[in-house]
């Protein structure tokens, strides 16, 4: 039987935006079914996500981050490594590991962009919840 708890991993960078994904997720999945885990940044998400998935406690693990071009490092490299790591965590454990990790082409720390991305992360959180619920339902039907 698939567990009905979900792990939600959030990166601390741009938390004012990233935390909105959890809000969106909680619009479809009750907060009592969600365990929340904070990590410093996106790069730390795959390892913790793998460990959470391997624990057998969760029907799915959701990982949320905003990876932006800070001018110091190649953000596209970080974003690709994160998404690859999250996919591998899911494939290795057999537990869905869903990404709400976004890498905008043009992000500026203006109020306009922050409002846009806050709203977008709420929607992405809802999308992750729908995906987690659908995968759980489909897997339950396959097991029957």
- pLDDT of 110 reads 72
pLDDT tens digits along 74-91: 667 778 889 999 999 999
Q: Strand pairing of 60-66 and 34-39?
A: unpaired
Length of the chain: 144
Residue 42 annotated as lining a ligand binding site: yes
Was 37 annotated as part of a binding site?
Answer: no
Nearest to 13 by CA among 53, 72, 59, 60: 72
Global pTM? 0.92
Rounded to whole angstroms, the Cα distance separating 70 from 58 reads: 34
> Which residue segments constitute the domains of the chain, with CATH numbers given?
6-143 (3.40.50.960)
Bridge partners of residue 98, in order along the sequence: 62
Residues with catalytic roles: 74
> Who contacts 91 (Cβ-Cβ below 8 Å, separation ≥6)?
none
Of 123, 119, 102, 99, nearest to 111 by C-alpha is 119
Higher-confidence residue of 101 and 23: namely 23
Does the annotation flag 14 for ligand binding?
no
What per-residue confidence (pLDDT) applies to 120? 92
Distance in angstroms (rounded) separating the CA atoms of residues 51 and 67? 22
């Amino acid at each position: 039987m698939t567990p009905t708890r979900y792990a939600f991993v959030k990166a601390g960078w741009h938390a004012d935006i990233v935390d909105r994904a959890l809000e969106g997720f909680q619009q479809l999945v009750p907060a009592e079914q969600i365990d929340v885990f904070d990590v410093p940044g996106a790069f730390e998400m795959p390892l913790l996500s793998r460990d959470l998935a391997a624990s057998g406690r969760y029907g799915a693990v959701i990982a949320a981050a905003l990876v932006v071009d800070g001018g110091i490092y190649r953000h596209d490299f970080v974003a690709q490594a994160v998404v690859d790591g999250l996919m591998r965590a899911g494939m290795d454990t057999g537990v869905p590991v869903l990404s709400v990790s976004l890498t905008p082409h043009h992000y500026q720390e203006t109020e306009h962009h922050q409002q846009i991305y806050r709203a977008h992360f709420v929607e992405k959180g809802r999308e992750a919840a729908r995906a987690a619920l659908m995968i759980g339902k489909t897997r339950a039907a396959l097991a029957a």
